[in-house]
Amino acid sequence: MTLKLIVSKDLPTDLDQIRLPKHVAIIMDGNGRWAKLRGLPRMMGHQRGVDTLKDLLRCCRDWRIPALTAYAFSTENWGRPLEEVKFLMTLFERVLRRELREMMEENVRISFVGNLEVLPPSLQLEINRSMNDTQDNTGIQFTVATNYGGRQEIIQACQTIAIQVQKGLLTPEEINESLFERYLYTSGITHPDLLIRTSGEMRISNFLLWQLAYAEIYVTQTLWPDFNREEFYKALLAYQQRERRFGKV
C-alpha cells in the first residue's frame, strides 16, 4: 500500500468496505511522551493530539465509518498537575469554539459522555452549544468522553434505576440489558466494534466498560500525535483479519 493511497480520501483497496467497524473508540495515549521525546512541554503533545483527532474524524468520514468515540479526559485525570488539568479544560473549550462552524459544514454530530456537571461552566457552555447546534446533523456521530469513568457511569445508571424502582415506576424483573443501556451516557449509540489504544499500554483504563464487552482491541506502540491515516489503515486491516464470534463457536 503506497502512502499516496493512504493520504487520499479513498478507502485503501485491500480494506473491505462492508466489513469496516461501524463504531471506533480510541484511547489517545502518549501525548506527554511525544512531547518529551522532542524536548517540548507536555502541553504541546496535547495540542498536537487535537490535530490528530481532527484528521482521524475526517478519515472516518472519508472511509464511511459512521461513529467515533474519543477518550479525552477520564475521572482519574483530575489527579494530574493542576496546570495540566487547567490547560486541558481550556484546550477543549477553545477547540470546540474554533471548530463548531467546520463541524456544521462537515455535518458532524457531536455529543459528550461523562459527568459534565462538574466541568468549568464556560466549558459546559461550549459543550451544550456544540451538542445543540449539531444535533440534527446526519454525518458522523462523534462522541467525546470528558470526565468519563466506566464504573461511575454504571453506578449512576444503577442509582437512577433504583430510584425508579423505589418510586414504583419499575419492577426489578423489568431490569434487563436493553433497559440498563438506556440509563448509560451512551444510550442510543451503537457499541464500538473496535477499540484502538495508542502508545503500547494493554489496558482499558475504565473506558466504556459495558460497551466494549465484545469490541476487538488493537494496541499500537505509535504515540497518539503520530497516529495518522496509515496507522488507522493498519488497525482496520488487523480488525478485518479477526474472526468475531461473540462467544459462539
The residue among 78 and 214 lying less far from ligand FPP, judged by its C-beta, is 78
> Would you tell me how many other CB atoms lie within 10 Å of the CB of residue 229?
20
Residues 124-153 that bind ligand FPP (CB under 6 A): 144
The residue among 95 and 108 lying less far from ligand FPP, judged by its C-beta, is 95
Q: In Å, how far are 92, 147, 159 from 120, measured between CA atoms?
A: 11, 11, 25
77 is catalytic: yes
How far apart CA 29 and CA 191 sit, in angstroms, is 21
**Closest CB 229 distance from ligand FPP, rounded Å:** 17
**Closest CB 17 distance from ligand FPP, rounded Å:** 27
Contact 108, 144 (CB under 8 A): no
**Contact pick of 21, 30, 149, 150 for ligand FPP (by CB under 6 A):** 30
| Joined grid coordinates for residue 39 | 524536548
Q: Is 46 in the site for ligand FPP (CB under 6 A)?
A: yes
Count of residues of this chain found to bind ligand FPP when the rule CB under 6 A is applied: 17
Considering the candidates 14, 31, 51, 77, report the single residue annotated as catalytic. Answer: 77
**SS3 call for 174:** helix
**Contact pick of 11, 24, 29, 113 for ligand FPP (by CB under 6 A):** 29
CA torsion through residues 132, 210, 150, 168, sign: positive
Give the containing element (helix H, strand E) for 141. Answer: strand 141-148
CA torsion through residues 87, 89, 94, 99, sign: positive
Binding mask 73-92 for ligand FPP (x = CB under 6 A): ----x--------------x
Catalytic site residues? 29, 77
Give me the residues that bind ligand FPP (CB under 6 A), please.
Answer: 28-33, 46, 49-50, 53, 70, 72, 77, 92, 95-96, 144
